[in-house]
Amino acid sequence: MRSRVTTLAACLITLGCTAQPVPAPTSAPASTPAAEVVSEEWVRVPGLPSDDRWERGLYDVSAAGPDLAWAVGYTGWEDSVATSMRAWDGSQWRRVPMENASGGNSAVDSQGPRDAWMIGGGNFDGPFAQHWNGQAWRRHPLPTYGQDVAMDGRRVAVLTRNAVLTWNGAAFVTEAKLGGEEIVLTSLDTGGRHTWIVGWRTPEQPVVWHGRDGEYEVALTLPRGTLNRIMQIAPDDVWAVGGADGKPLLLHWDGRSWRQPTIPQAIGHLHSVTAFGPDDVWFAGTEPIQSGTDRPGGVFVLHWDGRTWTRERPPESWSALRAEIERIPGTKRLWMVVNVLHGDSESITTYRRS
């Protein structure tokens, strides 16, 4: 494990926290602006036959390898919304049957072909988690609706709106309660005894919690905005993404402080982040169509190689509400699932980068 020097302003959850946010962190040195490229490396992959229909979307994707991945989301409208799941078998996406799964909350994480967890549910059937053992999914109840799930060896953590639950081998139990009703937690990542959590406090003030051995502390020096995803490469190399006032928000923890790098994307929202290593980090986001310009809007992808940023978009990039990007272990390929905007509804498009 790497040594970690922390100067994060913090308060222990056992004591509560009432501190107010302080000015935003110092920006990282600016990099040379990157020209946008329509990358033919992104190839559209057929999804399910119904993906072009409205009233469906994907919230998360996790790859166990080149021949196995899962994606979860929802189908339906209002009271008919149900959790959906699909699996990639190396040649095509197939629907995974789901019973008693009304509600659209869903997330998935995996750490190999014989170990994955997903969460889902809502509405009438209640929240649940499912574990994949390499042969079948086994369902377990959740005490409340989950926002995200993350795995690290035997540690399985589920994030709710304001708490962290962990799997004790028989059930999910509360490890820590974070914040109050004004806090919305959205994403977590865990690894090497460290757990990182993001969300926001109304009105649009990001929160980042860092946990180790069950004790959590909250960062106080953050800019305005909301955060959607967080990913730990190492305890001193953590990325968090979201948006603020119509602009992407990207933060990086270097072991001492949170910094806001200058990125080659001025508008839109960042939804997801994945990495093959500290010098190979990928981000996906969406931007609105800009009238009076030649920018088409839709999905954009950023890449950090440890020194410079590049920016690209897939061909046929439509207006979109969400873009989730995921590395494919054992390769240099990427999955990206996109929720395409149709008025007040959406459909699904899937890409793979070769």
pLDDT digits (tens, 9 = 90+) for 284-300: 999 986 655 555 569 99
Span 15-37, mean pLDDT?
Answer: 44
Q: Each residue of 246-273: pLDDT tens digit?
A: 999 999 999 999 999 999 999 999 999 9
**Is 124 or 170 the better-scoring residue by pLDDT?**
170
User: What is the overall mean pLDDT for the chain?
Assistant: 88
**Residue pair 134/176 in contact by the 8 Å Cβ criterion:** no
pLDDT at residue 38, as a whole number:
82
pLDDT at residue 11, as a whole number:
36
Which residues, in sequence order, are CB contacts of 48 under 8 Å at separation 6+?
Answer: 86, 93, 94, 95, 348
pTM above 0.85, yes or no: yes
Torsion angle of C-alpha atoms 287, 288, 290, 291, degrees rounded to 10: 170
Which domains does the chain carry? Answer: 36-353 (2.130.10.10)
**Is 19 or 175 the better-scoring residue by pLDDT?**
175
pLDDT at residue 20, as a whole number:
34
Q: Is it the case that residue 18 has pLDDT exceeding 50?
A: no
Q: Is it the case that residue 34 has pLDDT exceeding 60?
A: no
Span 77-88, mean pLDDT?
Answer: 91
Span 60-75, mean pLDDT?
Answer: 97
For 302, counting Cβ atoms within 10 Å of its Cβ (0-12 exposed, 13-18 middle, 19+ buried), the class is buried
CA–CA gap between residue 263 and residue 152 (Å, rounded):
30
**Residue pair 317/268 in contact by the 8 Å Cβ criterion:** no
Q: Is it the case that residue 180 has pLDDT exceeding 90?
A: no
**Radius of gyration in angstroms for the set of CA atoms belonging to the chain, rounded to a whole number:** 19
Q: Each residue of 185-239: pLDDT tens digit?
A: 999 999 999 999 999 998 889 999 999 988 999 997 799 999 999 999 999 999 9
The string of DSSP codes covering 290-309 is -TTSS---EEEEEEE-SS-E
Q: Each residue of 320-349: pLDDT tens digit?
A: 999 999 999 999 999 999 999 888 899 999
